[in-house]
Structure 1
Amino acid sequence: MVETINGIQQIGIGVLDVKKVFNWYRKHLNFDILLFEDEAVAALMTRYTNGKAEKREAYLSLNMTGGGGLEIWQFKDRTPTAAVNPIQFGDLGIYAMKIRCKNLTEMHSYLKDLKVSHLSEIIKSYCSSFYFTDPFGNRVQMVEDHYVFSTQTTKNGGVLGAVIGVTNMETSMRFYSTILGYTKLEYDAIETANEHSKRKFRRVVISQERKLVGGFGDLLGPTQLELIQVLDRTPVKIFENRLWGDLGYIHLCFDVSGMSAIREKAKNNNFPFTVDSANSFDMGDAAGHFSYIEDPDGTLIELVETHKVPILKSLGLFLNLKNRNPHKTLPKWLVKSLSFQRVKKDK
């Protein structure tokens, strides 16, 4: 089977209180479709949790305007730790998530009224954007983007991508191009001193051509990754001496088809899967095949081949994707039925 990267399914966020984080993003950024909530033991992730199978609770929430979702992830038997030192622009790992936004000015005013911390001005570079820090310490970039899967009243859509710190730009670009199909160079420049840093750094923005997209590809939409290489200091790993699931952005997850072909390609390019659920995992309301690989600096990339998702749990309605054409997107009306999972008040 030909492998397909359908889009960014979600970005994982390690948190102290899964309900509190879900409620904030539901209320203020319209991630109000709760695709699943699940409590289980992360038995396959012991490589990244000091050899211990940790119990966790996870929510996956979506914004139906279009884009990736949030996997909000909380340890149940240990208190997650924060980075020892403040995370700096260009440190290795996921520095920020990108959220698509059709009206930056209105969203900027809204967040200013909310008094979010570290709210930057709107900056025009390769595209218009601004940054802020959510109430839980996570850096977020709002990026002007007009892709719409389903018209909603919200000012913003879902996850567009991520800002990732790297040590060697050429090596990282080769990884993201070869393994994940980020072959389009949108921006490449050496910059100094911005709202994040007074350091010198190289900024590269890459995207996918999306010639072949299946499943939920229309909902997830086009994506972009922003790679940052600091040129005048030695960056540190954001998750140095911490566990997967500790506070912050723990992984970037792609919705894929043809997992076996991706596994072979990754192995042949010296980026073998570090975790592989082999056939199928079950997260209560959802099921599929998941794997993890590391980018050249150890940033965790999750790959998920979705087999089953809930449509209307109360009636036992689930969508089985296992036997349908993986290179054909789902009918729009069917994907819109995920709106039955909308949460209208705090959990």
Structure 2
Amino acid sequence: MQKIINGIQQIGIGVTDVNAVFNWYRAHLGFDIMVFNDVATANLMTQYTANTAEQRQAILALNMGGGGGLEIWQFKSRIPQPPKNSVQFGDLGINAIKIRSGKIKEIHKALKIIKVTELSDILEDNHFHFKDPWGNRVQVVDEPYSFVMNDGNSGGILGVVIGVTDMDASLYFYNKLLGYDTALSDSSGVFKELSNGKENNFRRVLLTRSNNKSGGFGELYGPSQIELVQVLDRVPNIIFKDRLWGDLGFIHLCFDISGLDVLRLQAEEEGHSFTVDSANSFDMGDAAGRFAYMEDPDGTLIEMVETHRVPVFKKLGVFINLKTRNPQKPLPKWMVKLIAVHKVKKDI
């Protein structure tokens, strides 16, 4: 058995109204494939939810243009809490999500028309920032990969921006355990786009993976990026300090992985043992598989999912079964495209 990282499966985002968030991302950023909409109790996550098994509703939304999805996550048994401080670049945790677009001028114009907050200009290296209606920071990156051509101006999740305290330790973690071994850029100084009105000094490193071989749904996810940001002249806040996993904001970064047992042993050797492991097949609504969590050096939650089954025509009992397939072989494109039957064409 070997470890195969198929790509970023999704980013978890804690919200107060799961339907409203899905509707906005569907309408404006093309996340219109609802893989599942599930209400359940998070029994295995109690160490991150104050030793209480909390009930939640979760929608997994995909953009068939290519990229990871959004797991839009809402507590049903408590009121989710906001960060104690406004999230700044360099704070510890997920600062922003990256969304790919091959039509960056068009998507920028469309977002300007709907008057999203803190919309930046398109910067010289072809990306821009804005905040969604709930204050979550989004970076749109000019990146040409596409899984299927669609009518929208954007694709799915390209990656994340993560705040760290020790760049070298974090570089080692994301390289050794998750394969992000290639630095596309490594720069230090004052960056207007990161400073939020304050001239802080940063080191920022943009990472990708040299090994893009993947199986299963890897071609849907496509290449990915992780940008690590360390603020050098300010003590960063911990975004989820005194809050629960599932509270408001970006709650985890999730990878689709084959060979989870191999990664488990590697993580133990590196001092990052899994903190949660479902170990056997679990019920993830209409989908099924195994999931686990570990923490990066600053406690940012990394979820890993070994997908076993994905529903296509649930009423007919038709599922894509990955458990019996060669994990190194990508699913045929026509088969992955079947997920598009879950496209949502109007607000829910």
TM-score by length of 1: 0.98
1:144-195: CA deviations, max 9, x gaps?
Answer: 0000111101110000000000000000000000000000111000020413
Runs of 4+ in 1 over 4 A off after TM superposition: none
- Is residue 325 from structure 1 mapped to residue 323 from structure 2 by the alignment? no
Supply the distance in 2 between the matched residues of 1:212 and 1:264 (Cα, whole angstroms). Answer: 21
Q: Residue in 2 aligned with 1:169?
A: 167
Same amino acid, percent of matched pairs: 58
Q: Deviations over 1:225-245 (max 9, x none)?
A: 000000111101111110000
Aligned equivalent of 2:193, options 195, 198, 201:
195
Partner of 1:55: 55
1:62-110 CA-partner distances (Å, limit 9, x unpaired): 0000000000000001100001111111100000000001111111111
Contact kept in structure 2, 1:307 and 1:320, CA below 8 Å: yes
- 1:113-159 CA distances to partner (integer Å, 9 max, x unpaired)? 000001011112xx310000000111000000000111101110000
Residue of structure 1 equivalent to 2:256: 255
What code does the residue aligned with 1:242 have?
Answer: R
Structure 2 distance, partners of 1:317, 1:23, is: 27
Taking structure 2 as the reference length, the TM-score comes to 0.98
1:156 aligned counterpart, secondary structure: coil
Question: What stretches of structure 2 of length at least 5 have no aligned partner?
Answer: none
Pair 1:181-2:182 in alignment:
no
Provide the residue aligned with 1:150 in structure 2: 148
3-state SS, counterpart of residue 155 of structure 2: strand
Asked whether the equivalents of residues 104 and 144 of structure 1 are also in contact (C-alpha less than 8 Å), the reply is yes
* CA distance in 1: counterparts of 2:329 and 2:241, whole angstroms: 40
- RMSD over equivalenced CA pairs, Å: 0.8
Query: Mapping of 1:219-298 within 5 angstroms?
Result: 219-298=220-299
Question: C-alpha distance in 2, partners of 1:155/1:236?
Answer: 34
Aligned to 1:141: 139
Paired residue secondary structure (1:51): coil
Unpaired runs of 5+ residues, structure 1, are none
Partner Cα separation in structure 1 for residue 266 and residue 92 of structure 2: 24
**Counterpart for residue 96 of structure 2:** 96
What is the alpha-carbon distance in structure 2 between the residues aligned to residue 120 and residue 191 of structure 1? 20
Equivalent in the alignment of 2:306:
305
2:126 corresponds to: 128
| Distance apart, 1:313 and its partner CA | 1.9
Q: Deviations over 1:217-269 (max 9, x none)?
A: 00000000000000111101111110000000000000000000000000011
Determine whether 1:209 maps to 2:210. yes
Residue aligning to 1:12:
12
Q: Distance in 2 between matches of 1:96 and 1:179?
A: 22
The residue type paired with residue 290 of structure 2 is: H
Partner Cα separation in structure 2 for residue 191 and residue 6 of structure 1: 34
Q: In 1, Cα distance between the equivalents of 2:191 and 2:185?
A: 17
Secondary structure of 1:177 counterpart: helix
